[in-house]
A and B are shown apart, each in its own frame.
Chain A
Amino acid sequence: MRIRLKEFNGVAVWKWVTNDDSCGICRMQFDASCSECRYPGDQCPVLHGECRHCFHEHCIMKWINAQQTNKLCPMCRGEWKSLP
């Protein structure tokens, strides 16, 4: 018997490569959108900090903008610097 592949139609799930399942701010899964977005993925990206904590971009930006003085990571209280 010989098998030849003619066509491949696969189904895959995309995932953010993160060290956590859900966003520490909105408590939503990273694979879902933040509470203000309709669509996950491109429209609601995930931001990695230097402290290795990840948040939805929208969530962490809101948090940072609300901070008066130092921009701190809400998890570790270290200075927030996002990785590119």
Chain B
Amino acid sequence: MDRLNTIINDLIISNEFDLIIPVIKAGLLTLVRDRYLSEFITTIEQIASQPINTYHIAFVNFNKQLIDIENYLKTLFQTLENQYNLKLFDIQDFMIKLPYNAVKEQLLHTTNIIKSTFYEKFIDIFEYYLAAYASQHARIACAELLKNTTTCSFCKLTLSSGCKCVELQEQFDIIMFILKRLGLLSRVCQSAALAACRHRITNFIKQICEQYSSHACLPHLEQWFETGIITWVSILELHCTNYRDNNDDKEQSTFKIDLSSCRTELKHHIYKCVMNERGARHMFQIIIDYPESRAGGVLDDLKRCVSIVGKRHLIIDNVRHEFNKRLLHPGVGTTEILAAFINAIRVLRYLDSTGVMMELACHNVKQFLARREDTIRVIVSNMNEHGVLELNELTQADGVANTRSSQCFLDDEWEPEPIEALTAPERALRPSHSRDLMSMLVSIYGHAELFVEEYIHMLADRMLSGQSNKVDIEHEGRYVDLLKQRFGDGGLQGCDVMLKDYVDSRLMNDLVKKQLAHVHFPLASTAGVPINTLIISSQYWPEVKFSPIDLPDELKAIQVAYTTAYETLKPHRTLHWSPNYGQVNLEIEIGGKTLEFSVTPFHAAIIYKFQEKETWTISDLSSSLKCSTACIRKRINLWQNCGLLKEEAKDTFRLVEDTSKVASNSSSQAPALLSVDVDDMNVEHQAEPDKKEHEHTIVCNFVFAMLRSKTSLTLERIYSLLCVYAFHGQHERTLIDVRNILDAKVKSNQLLYTDGFYTLPPNQGTTSTSPVSANENMLVD
């Protein structure tokens, strides 16, 4: 400035007035460009992002420098005009153009200046002020989402006194003014403002969605977006248009903010952010929290986001990941996994009615559950007891399944499957029509037979346990009907007979009671004891074990009396009693204590023996009760656990004298009964793999026979042939099952697999065909 002054003085002295104007212009331009502007830019670039509120000081400084120049010019012109009567140029016009020209020249020097850190800083600055602005609007719109409503969500100061957000608005006006002066406003606005908005939305949603909540946030966010972001952008737009009016530069007018396109883009950004925050992070909580998460609205949020943004893979990946991380461990109970799985099905079906997301996300869980032995039991017991699966859900699902298949193409509500369906190879091969809850659960095992079998076992178990209050016959009846609707009558026919047996037994008990009232009991001690019997049709129940033993006289007398009464009521028929099922309630007096026990007749028989003498060996017991030692050993544990018996030496048990530790089992009777049941079940379950093995051999024999006549076949062809000849169209064997079987054979070198064709290895293909396979050849041809 001083140098410029001396130069001008020199010029005046040397009377070269013509040069004054260009010198002033050039001098000021260099001054502004090389000193003020670069100073301004470096300060902006160097300021750490943390105390952003110092930014405006740089702007104010720069503004002051410009005003200084203006003032200097004014005084200079004044003196020139007064002393030399010299009229120079229009100061105001010059001052508007000066910074703009400086920036333009600066740009010529360093091309990247706007794109570099300087530009990024602008996004920060914009976002800072936008945040201040938007936070004021968030107070009303997002009151529910912000936990603390007394402090400003932006500056964290109390609303009543500390919050300075309104003052920040004034700072922003100054910045806008200087930017205008610099000619940078439009240049910066479009992209910086948009970027700032995007940042703001991202950060705000991050802040709101950090913790899981079941409440909907989209409606609030949208309101906040309209009142906060959009008004802010329109203020910017206003600045820009004003600016263009003043300074009609053609180059400049191409930069402007298109509000409507901004709005769509930013709105889309909101959905994307919610998706990223909720969909990709909170799926597990949403699933665990299911009925609430739907009622609260967070699911509806996600549904909207999915329909707008897509990106289903985010949700799918999150569900998979979280399930793997939290549930699919050996230590987690099947009940918990299953409950989560069921909720996941519900949630994902809600988000995507075609079920593609569900299948993709739950594939792992299904495989994991399929490996657990108790899954079916848990499913079936949950169905009845805990109400995880409600009855109406089963019926509803069934209705949907029916309409799906028939009206699928007529329905207006038909939805195309999302793009992710293509990435699921195992799905593509199996177009399943009804992907409702029940079929999902059943599909864990591939087909329904095992499922039905398990249900029958469970039903039988509960009825046989002798706790008559445990079975709600009406409820079971409804259930059997529902299952029949779904799986067909075949496997469930036995259930009808079982339920009928149960009802008939009650009638029979009443009749027998009347009959017994007239007869004298052989033993006085059993008179008046309530007697109930479940009389079953053995052919229709899952294998009931009969290992007849020599029961104590009291129990035998009851059974004989009952059988006699029954035989008079039902001619030509008799009863066989099972000691393993049912329940005997005993009152045991020992050491001045009276205890109640509920046990099976077998257990009762054992303890009755100790009434005769206090010490028994297992072998003595077994010969006395006429049963195997293993049976005794299994059951004597119960009495040992109750504290009544003590194992003195190996296989020698003695009645305890000290009764302080003896506990009644009537409160904890369930485990005792269950343990027996489980033992029995285990024996039965061992048969299942054998059965599977057997089915595999059937499949393999068919395949070998086919290959002998056809030499090579594709998987699909094999499957379709098997469907016709081996499965008779009833087995719900899937392509995958068959492939697994075949792959196993390939591994053991019994088959060859090349280019999608299965063939027999050379040595086997030429062997002579057995009569059976000749028969098979005929079928294939």
* B-binding residues in A (CB < 8 A): 1-18, 29, 31-32, 38-42, 45-46, 48
Contacts and interface: CB of A to CB of B under 8 A. Distances in A.
Contacts of B536: 11-14
Of A2, A3, A42, most B-chain CB atoms within 10 Å: A3
B583 interface: yes
A2 B588 contact: yes
Q: Is the interface of B mostly helix, strand, loop or mixed?
A: mixed
Interface stretch (B344-352, B471-479, B553-561, B723-731): B553-561
A9 B533 contact: yes
Nearest to A18: B572
B538 A1 contact: no
B540 A11 contact: no
B574 A1 contact: no
Given A13-B576, A17-B572, A7 B585 contact: yes
Chain B interface size, as a band, is 35 or more
Nearest to B541: A13
Contacts of B575: 12-15
A1 B610 contact: yes
B540 A32 contact: yes
A8 B589 contact: no
B572 A14 contact: no
Contact of A12 (B525, B530, B578, B590): B578
A11 B529 contact: no
A6 B587 contact: yes
User: Looking at B466, B526, B537, which has the most chain A CB atoms within 10 Å of its CB?
Assistant: B537
Interface of B: 464, 466-468, 493, 496-497, 500, 504, 525-526, 529-540, 544, 546, 554-555, 558-559, 562-563, 566, 570, 572-578, 580-590, 596, 601, 607-608, 610-611, 655
B574 A17 contact: yes
A20 to B, nearest CB: 13
Given A1-B611, A17-B572, A29-B539, A11 B464 contact: yes
Given A3-B607, A14-B566, 19 more contacts: A3-B587, A3-B611, A4-B588, A5-B525, A5-B587, A6-B585, A7-B529, A10-B534, A10-B558, A10-B582, A11-B464, A11-B536, A12-B535, A13-B544, A15-B573, A18-B572, A32-B537, A38-B496, A39-B496
Given A3-B607, A32-B539, A38-B493, A12 B576 contact: yes
A31 to B, nearest CB: 5
A9 B533 CA distance: 5
Contact of A13 (B466, B535, B607): B535
A14 to B, nearest CB: 5
Max count, chain B CB within 10 A of own CB: residue among A5, A7, A9, A11: A11
Nearest to A54: B572
Contacts of A11: 464, 466, 533-534, 536, 544, 577-578, 580-582
B534 A12 contact: yes
Given A2-B589, A2-B611, A32-B537, A9 B468 contact: yes
B584 A3 contact: no
A1 B586 contact: no
Nearest to A29: B539
A2 B575 CA distance: 30
Contacts of A16: 572-573
A10 B562 contact: yes
B559 A10 contact: yes
A9 B466 contact: yes
* Chain A contact residues: helix, strand, loop or mixed: strand
Contacts of B532: 7-10
A5 to B, nearest CB: 5
Contacts of B566: 14
Given A13-B576, A15-B573, A8 B529 contact: yes
Given A7-B530, A15-B573, A48-B572, A31 B588 contact: no
16 contacts: A1-B588, A1-B655, A4-B525, A5-B526, A5-B555, A6-B587, A8-B531, A9-B466, A9-B533, A9-B583, A10-B559, A12-B533, A12-B562, A12-B576, A39-B537, A41-B537
A19 to B, nearest CB: 12
A83 to B, nearest CB: 9
B468 A8 contact: no
B497 A15 contact: no
Enumerate the 9 nearest inter-chain pairs by beta-carbon distance, A residue then B residue, closest first.
A11-B581, A32-B539, A9-B466, A7-B585, A6-B585, A12-B575, A11-B582, A13-B538, A4-B587
B537 A40 contact: yes
Contacts of B554: 5
A12 B496 contact: no
A31 B539 contact: yes
Nearest to B659: A1
A32 to B, nearest CB: 4
Contacts of A2: 588-590, 611
Contacts of B497: 38-40
B529 A14 contact: no
A8 B540 CA distance: 24
Contacts of B546: 13
Contact of B529 (A5, A13, A17): A5
Contacts of A15: 538, 573-576
A14 B570 contact: yes
B610 A9 contact: no
Contact of A10 (B525, B538, B601): B601
A6 B594 CA distance: 13
A2 B531 CA distance: 21
Nearest to B463: A11
B587 A40 contact: no
Nearest to A7: B585
Given A13-B546, A31-B539, A46-B572, A5 B586 contact: yes
A47 to B, nearest CB: 9
Contacts of A9: 466-468, 532-534, 582-585
A10 B655 CA distance: 26
Nearest to A47: B572
